[in-house]
Amino acid sequence: MGGGAGERFAATSSPHEIVMNAEITSLLIELTSGDDHRAELAVAGLSVHGFEALPGLKEMLISSDDDTRWWAVRTLAQMVNPPIEFLILSLEDESQEVRQCAALAICHHPDASAIRNLLKMMAETETVTTNLAATALIAIGKDAIPGLLDLLPNLKDVSRIEAYRAIACIEDQRSIPVLMAAMDEDSLAINYWVEEGLNRLGLGMVYLKPD
């Protein structure tokens, strides 16, 4: 993990820091076994332990190994109430796969404090990354709209399409002027999400200009 994020993980304290029992230690070993099937079984077991598993997962999050950090985030995503700050810091991970896993986790545990990092991911060029970031912002909802509207003029290609998808799916009245202004876009994908967004906002009689 990049130095900054790793140092912040190391400095993050938890009120639930407790000594790991033998079962958790065994599950953590399985999680890093390199065998995906065994690791998935360990994810299920560790997620049940909840806060008791956090000290070990925290150590994994500052590992120099990308796969180790990925499995830690994967486990946090399965918990009922994971520490949101762990997921937010993982959105800044140097590994694209870890960032993607963290964004997927936010989809299941939406929190407005993740918006800033998700907007950064929206500006990336990799399709899966921008798709997951947009989906996480949709899960967060209306709090994400101001940032999306501000970021939109700076986005290109797939990132721009995903931003319009997020704006359309969130269904916020503040997005109407931006959607109306995008009716002249020459992208079929953007046209689709503009029309979808306007329909969802009750403006279904507004049609895109004909070709």
Judge if 35 and 139 occupy the same domain.
Answer: no
Single out the residue in 53, 88, 109 at which a domain terminates: 109
Judge if 131 and 204 occupy the same domain.
Answer: yes
CB atoms within 10 A of CB 183: 15
Q: CA 67, CA 73: separation in Å to the nearest integer?
A: 10
Q: What is the CATH number of the domain that holds 55?
A: 1.25.10.10
Q: pTM, whole model, 2 decimals? A: 0.85
SS3 of 26, please? helix
Judge if 67 and 8 occupy the same domain.
Answer: yes
pLDDT at 13: 47
Single out the residue in 48, 78, 109 at which a domain terminates: 109
Over the stretch 109-163, which tens digit does the pLDDT of each residue have? 999 999 999 999 999 989 999 999 999 999 999 999 999 999 999 999 999 999 9
**φ/ψ (deg, to 5) at 125:** -100, -10
Judge if 2 and 105 occupy the same domain.
Answer: yes
DSSP-assigned letters across all residues of 126-176: -HHHHHHHHHHHHHH-GGGHHHHHHHGGG--HHHHHHHHHHHHHHT-GGGH
Range of the domain at 202: 118-211
Single out the residue in 109, 126, 154 at which a domain terminates: 109
Judge if 149 and 191 occupy the same domain.
Answer: yes
Judge if 71 and 126 occupy the same domain.
Answer: no
Q: How many domains are contained in the chain?
A: 2
Judge if 3 and 72 occupy the same domain.
Answer: yes
